[in-house]
Structure 1
């Protein structure tokens, strides 16, 4: 049984569809990457999965159970996490306070998870008392991802995790994503740096006009001449 599956998903804003029949599936040990041109529906798909956008047709399942149009708080309780591209930290709170905010639904002792997050993101450990707003862009992204991990999700959704980052930080964020996945968390992310992201992807989904244009392994998509020419800069 797949960890996550979306079948023929339609949805949009103000009565206008942006998603026009998207299909995706992901196993528990996989990284999935959604790529495509601007306006293709990539980020919209993540919002639809996380209950932030109403699905008008189709079905989304988590571990075989329908979560179509479920409330985001309910999805967090069901071990899904979402990291938006913007406004994804509390700038005035310390790094550790940001992480603790990620455990808002927990009633157990989550100290072990704090330490695991610091093991995923070592730069944060030394700055745990520092206001998150004072960190570099890459480190702020680590805080956002770390906060999402505090609920110990089985699936994490990442919307453009390397947006605005230097190539050095981009490579580091991708390394952290691999580590998170190897620790047992399924990852589904939208990424503008398509070629670099597909290199770490088990599955890739190329969306165009709200539909799957290509679906394959990351490696096969990189080596597909049509995909390379149209979506990967040659």
Structure 2
């Protein structure tokens, strides 16, 4: 049984379907990466999974249970975390306060999970008393990821986790995503840095005009000349 199985998903905003029959399936050991041109429906698909966009057709299963159009707070309780691209931290709060906010549904696990987050992101332990708004872009992204992990999700959704980051921090975020996945968290992310993301992906999904254009392992998509020509700049 797949951790996440989305079949023929249609949905969008204001009665207009941006998604026109998208299929996706990942297991807990997978890093799934969604790539494609602007307007392809990549972020819309993540939001549809997390209950932020109305699904009008198709279904989305989490561990075999339909979660179509479930509320985000319900999905967090079911073991899903979502990190939006923007406004994903509380800038006036310290790093540690941001992380503690993530443990609101499991307050008894706060101390244990803080240590786990600090093991993933040692920089955050050093800056735990500093306002998050004073951090670099890469460190703020670490705070956002850490806060989502405080609920101990089995599936983590990330929307453009390396957007606007320096190459150094981009690689750091990708390295941490691999580490988090190895710790038992399934990953599904949208990423514009397609080559680097597909290099760590076990599964890749190329979307165009709200539909699957290619679905394969990250390695095979990287080596597919049609994918390279159209979506990877090569």
Same fold by TM-score greater than 0.5 = yes
SS at match of 2:51: coil
Aligned to 2:59: 59
Once the two structures are superposed, what CA deviation does each residue of 1:191-225 show, in whole Å capped at 9, x if it has no partner? Answer: 00001000000000000000000000000000000
Inter-partner Cα distance in structure 2 for 1:104 and 1:20: 36
1:109 Cα deviation after fit: 3.2
Once the two structures are TM-superposed, the CA of residue 15 in structure 1 deviates from its matched residue by 1.2
What is the TM-score when the length of structure 2 is the normalising length?
0.99
Give matches, 1:78-157, under 5 Å.
78-157=78-157
Gaps of 5+ in 2: none
State the partner residue of 1:187. 187
Q: Could you list the structure 1 runs, at least 4 aligned residues long, displaced by more than 3 angstroms after superposition.
A: none
Q: Which runs of 5+ in 1 are unaligned?
A: none
| Pairing of 1:152-191 with structure 2 (within 5 A) | 152-191=152-191
Q: Secondary structure at the match of 1:162?
A: coil
CA distance in 2, matches of 1:171, 1:107: 32
- What is the match of residue 3 of structure 1? 3
Q: CA RMSD in A?
A: 0.5
Q: Verify the 8 A CA contact 2:11 2:19 in the aligned structure 1.
A: yes
1:108, CA displacement in angstroms? 2.1
1:13 is matched with 13
Q: Distance in 1 between matches of 2:71 and 2:86?
A: 21
User: Displacement of 1:106 after TM fit?
Assistant: 1.4
Q: Is the 8 A contact 2:103 2:109 kept in 1?
A: no
Residue aligning to 1:33: 33
**Superposed displacement of residue 233, structure 1:** 0.5
**Which whole-Å CA distance do the structure 2 matches of 1:74 and 1:15 have between them?**
24
Counterparts of 1:16 and 1:29 in 2: how far apart (Å)? 34
CA distance in 1, matches of 2:109, 2:164: 35
Judging changes above 3 Å, is the alpha-carbon distance between structure 1 residues 208 and 139 closer, same or farther for their aligned structure 2 residues? Answer: same
- Matched with 2:23 is 23
Distance in 2 (CA, whole Å) between partners of 1:155 and 1:46 is: 12
Partner in structure 1 of residue 216 of structure 2: 216
